[in-house]
């Protein structure tokens, strides 16, 4: 029996299936308050349970780092969301048990999120996880989570909640398979960060029997139940890949010596220390949301300074690109964003929050400048969701006022790519966020499994916009560098194409550094350029990917 999904994190393994345990059972419909329990007592119990769940998720967030930290912090907020709790209290006042009240309240809020679409629809999954945890707390039973096992296993589920993906132990879980989710779902992002082979959107895989042996290929997205000799051999070959790759030597370059610095995407000081140890040549994306998520109020300037300085200290003398707060969409903040927007992915997010809540960005820039002044790191600063020349010009002036001399922009909106020559006239660099650029170019929500084929950065239209961004950066003698900090940079084959398109730096999860470095070192700049043109001329994303991969024999040699 075989299944096919979307490979989101490379690797080939054979292992035993452990299915996620059954979710918390729904309280009986119409379940009423016990005669011995008053509405006030039930409300108190509900609030205590929601606070306990929030505390548990917040504690997990503190133990996690990077994407996991941000995901958990955002989910923790949902446990005590005022709309959710007020709705549940109304049900209790009408006679419902606390368990049934929170169940029905969450269903109503989730329906609202689904109707909003986009990122908010994806948040409904997180809300249901929170609901189950609150019900488990009220019942005094264990919350849902990763199954226990005495031996390593392949975790299979319909989908995974942030609280689960963020605390996976890669020593226990050797691969991830979900029947739902998309290429940019929480499961996919965390799998890449942990270096776990993973396949999402594998319809039917959640029905594989617990204890069955399966083969998982996180590159091709193929899954084989009861694997044969060919699959076992492929998994065995992959097991030696890490030793063949070795460690990244800290010098990204092509075979003919063209330098391509390989940087790291980080979400805090812990991430930065790990990235530095992995040989990253700097930080291409510091996600500053880690300072803001999970809070009801803006962090103080001093809190921000200390948090940023922890990252800068790990990369003394090297470049650190700081992205200003990218709140909104899937990262709502109660003091900054409006969760009721009809389409948050296209709403007030990133740089745009300064339109509705001026002052937060200015104070953040001041904190970054203070942290930079006490560090030897070379600090660059960029704003997310820049769409116009006027926005780039204003952001550059704000940086100048704060004493920051190297302002840049994230190119995620197609208009910025199309007008890059004019946008870059006002800033010093650009960094392509390929996740959002792909989503907006293809009009395809990046979280949805059914749209995975559209949501590939191999789409020729996306590659063409990347090329146009680079062309604009060198027009009129600008000569300004363009990097990539989206997930595309972590794909070794696509990294070759990006360099061939003129990308100057690549930033990725530290786990991808060795693979990307090895593949880049196998081609000359001229060969990379030829492969880039091949990809641009392809009729589809699948054809572009296949044509490039077939001309990179090192991928097969390394099991990539």
Which ranges constitute the DSSP H helices of 374-486?
389-402, 414-418, 420-423, 434-442, 460-474
Instruction: List all residues 6 or more positions away from 6 whose beta carbon is below 8 Å from its beta carbon.
Output: 182, 183, 199, 200, 201, 202, 221, 449, 452
Indicate if 186 belongs to the active site: yes
Tokens of 394: 């204003």
Indicate if 485 belongs to the active site: yes
Q: What is the DSSP string of 35-68?
A: TT--HHHHHHHHHHHHHHHHHHHHHHHHH--HHH
Burial call 299-314: b when 16+ CB within 10 Å, e when fewer: beeeebbbbbbbbbbb
**C-alpha closest to that of 520 among 535, 534, 510, 505:** 505
Tokens of 112: 């609202």
Q: Parallel, antiparallel, or unpaired for β 198-200 and 6-9?
A: antiparallel
Instruction: List all residues 6 or more positions away from 122 whose beta carbon is below 8 Å from its beta carbon.
Output: 185, 330, 445, 447, 448
**C-alpha closest to that of 337 among 369, 385, 375, 270:** 385
SS3 label, residue 544: helix
Please state, in angstroms and rounded to a whole number, the distance separating the CA atoms of residues 406 and 24. 51
Candidate list 91, 186, 291, 399, residue with the active-site label: 186
- State which H helix or E strand residue 449 sits in: none
Contact 370, 309 (CB under 8 A): no
How far is Cα of residue 526 from the mean position of the Cα atoms in its chain?
32
Backbone angles phi, psi at 445, to 5 degrees: -55, 120
Backbone angles phi, psi at 413, to 5 degrees: -100, 130
Sign of torsion over alpha carbons 242, 246, 249, 252: negative
Candidate list 65, 91, 291, 485, residue with the active-site label: 485
Q: What is the DSSP string of 103-148?
A: HHHHHHHHHHHHHH-HHHHHHHHHHHHHHHHHHHHHHT-PPP-PPP
Q: Provide the 10 A C-beta neighbour count for residue 23.
A: 15
* Catalytic residue list: 186, 485
């Amino acid at each position: 029996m075989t299944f096919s999904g979307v490979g989101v994190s490379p690797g080939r393994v054979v292992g035993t299936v452990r299915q996620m345990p059954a979710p918390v059972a729904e309280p009986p419909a119409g379940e009423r308050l016990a005669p011995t329990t008053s509405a006030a007592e039930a409300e108190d119990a509900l609030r205590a349970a929601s606070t306990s769940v929030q505390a548990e998720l917040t504690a997990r967030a503190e133990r996690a780092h990077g994407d996991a930290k941000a995901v958990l912090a955002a989910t923790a907020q949902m446990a005590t969301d005022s709309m959710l709790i007020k709705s549940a209290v109304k049900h209790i006042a009408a006679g419902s048990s606390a368990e049934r009240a929170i169940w029905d309240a969450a269903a109503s809020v989730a329906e609202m999120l689904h109707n909003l679409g986009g990122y908010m629809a994806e948040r409904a999954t997180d809300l249901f996880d929170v609901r189950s945890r609150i019900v488990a707390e009220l019942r005094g039973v264990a919350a849902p989570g990763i199954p226990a096992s005495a031996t390593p296993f392949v975790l299979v589920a319909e989908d995974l909640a942030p609280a689960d993906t963020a605390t996976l132990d890669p020593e226990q879980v050797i691969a991830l398979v979900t029947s739902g989710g998309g290429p940019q779902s929480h499961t996919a992002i965390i799998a890449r960060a942990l270096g776990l082979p993973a396949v999402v959107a594998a319809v039917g895989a959640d029905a594989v029997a617990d204890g069955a042996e399966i083969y998982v290929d996180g590159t091709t997205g193929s899954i084989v139940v009861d694997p044969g000799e060919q699959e076992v051999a492929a998994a065995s070959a992959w097991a030696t890949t890490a030793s063949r790759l070795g460690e990244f030597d800290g010098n990204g370059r092509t075979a003919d010596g063209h330098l391509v610095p390989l940087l790291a995407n980080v979400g805090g000081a812990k991430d930065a220390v790990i990235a530095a140890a992995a040989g990253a040549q700097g930080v291409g994306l510091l996600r500053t949301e880690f300072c803001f998520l999970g809070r009801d109020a803006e962090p103080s300037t001093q809190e921000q300074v200390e948090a940023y300085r922890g990252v800068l200290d790990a990369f003394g003398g090297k470049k650190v690109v700081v992205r200003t707060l990218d709140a909104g969409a899937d990262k709502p903040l109660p003091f900054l964003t409006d969760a009721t927007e009809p389409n948050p992915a296209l709403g007030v997010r990133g740089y745009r929050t300064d339109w509705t809540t001026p002052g937060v960005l200015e104070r953040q820039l001041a904190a970054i400048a203070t942290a930079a002044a006490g560090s030897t790191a070379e600090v660059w600063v960029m704003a997310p969701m820049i769409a116009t020349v006027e926005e780039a010009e204003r952001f550059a002036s704000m940086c100048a006022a704060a004493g920051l001399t190297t302002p840049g922009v994230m190119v995620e909106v197609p208009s910025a790519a199309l007008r890059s020559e004019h946008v870059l006239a006002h800033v010093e660099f650009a960094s392509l966020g390929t996740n959002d650029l792909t989503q907006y170019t293809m009009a395809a929500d990046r979280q949805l499994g059914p749209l995975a084929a559209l949501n590939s950065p191999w789409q020729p239209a996306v590659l063409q916009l990347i090329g146009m961004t680079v062309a604009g950066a060198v027009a009129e003698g600008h000569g300004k560098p363009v990097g990539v900090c989206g997930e595309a940079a972590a794909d070794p084959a696509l990294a070759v194409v990006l360099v061939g398109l003129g990308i100057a730096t690549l930033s990725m999860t530290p786990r991808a550094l060795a693979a990307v470095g090895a593949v880049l070192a196998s081609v000359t700049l001229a060969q990379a350029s030829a492969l880039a043109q091949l990809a641009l001329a392809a009729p589809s994303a699948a054809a572009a990917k296949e044509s490039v991969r077939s001309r990179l024999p090192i991928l097969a040699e390394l099991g990539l």
